[in-house]
Every structure is written in structure tokens, then in C-alpha cells.
Amino acid sequence: QVQLVESGGGSVQAGGSLRLSCTCSEYSSSGSGCKYMGWFRQAPGKEREGVATISTDPPSTRYGDSVKGRFTISRDHGRSTAYLQLHSLKPQDTGMYFCAADRLWGPMVAGRPTSWGRGTRVTVSS
């Protein structure tokens, strides 16, 4: 069983920055449920979309088209915490940001990871 806890959301003006954090904890013997991590978001009245995903083995990152060049995903050396650095924020970045994890890369990039956090809210005002 995997637990994901997000933090770092808040309210900023357009052009501002935020840093989201997600700590992944696993309570099972497999030890691989946090292997791949990512961020997704859902704006009011819209479908959930992938923001960024990260693999450390092999090293790889993927970004949604709407955030490329503005957001950066990373993981700490211990690999239990993932970060999402948000720069040049726009009002359309407003939404709930969810951290997710999976032991397989395929479900992560397909937008169907196994484990989800409860989300942290980001509000960008114009």
C-alpha cells in the first residue's frame, strides 16, 4: 500500500512561482510502488490532465504540452519525494494538483497510475 502526501499549493499572481512537494511512503514488501511518480491536475469543470512524470531508472521526464518550459519535475536522492517547480504561472494553471505513483512506467504515462494523493490546490489570479 502506497501513501502520497502533497504540499506547497497556494495562491499566486500570474507570472509567479510555486513549488509542490510529494512524499511517497510504501507499506508493503514489494518496495517498488513509488518507483515512478508524476503530477496531474484538474481544473474546475475540466478533465484531469497529465502535468509531468519522472523515472529515475532510466532517467526520464515527460511534460504536458501546456507546461513545457515552465514546470520542472524532480526527485530527491532518496527518491521518496518528488517536486514540481512551477514558474511563469498563468490563470489557466489553476486547479487541484495530484501526485501519483506506480511501480510500472506504462500506467503512469497513460494517465492511470495506481496510487494517488489527495491533492493540493493552486490558484493563479490575473
Summarize pLDDT for 46-72 with one digit per residue, the tens: 999 999 999 888 889 999 999 999 999
Distances in Å between the Cα of 31 and the Cα atoms of 18, 62, 105, 109, 120 are 30, 23, 15, 20, 25
Instruction: Give the pLDDT score at 29.
Output: 67
Summarize pLDDT for 105-119 with one digit per residue, the tens: 999 999 999 999 999
DSSP string, the chain: -EEEEEE--EEEETT--EEEEEEEEE-SSS--TTSEEEEEEE-TTS--EEEEEEEETTEEEEE-TTTTTTEEEEE-TTSSEEEEEE-S--GGG-EEEEEEEESSHHHHHTT--SEE---EEEEEE-
pLDDT of residue 100 exceeding 90, the answer is: yes
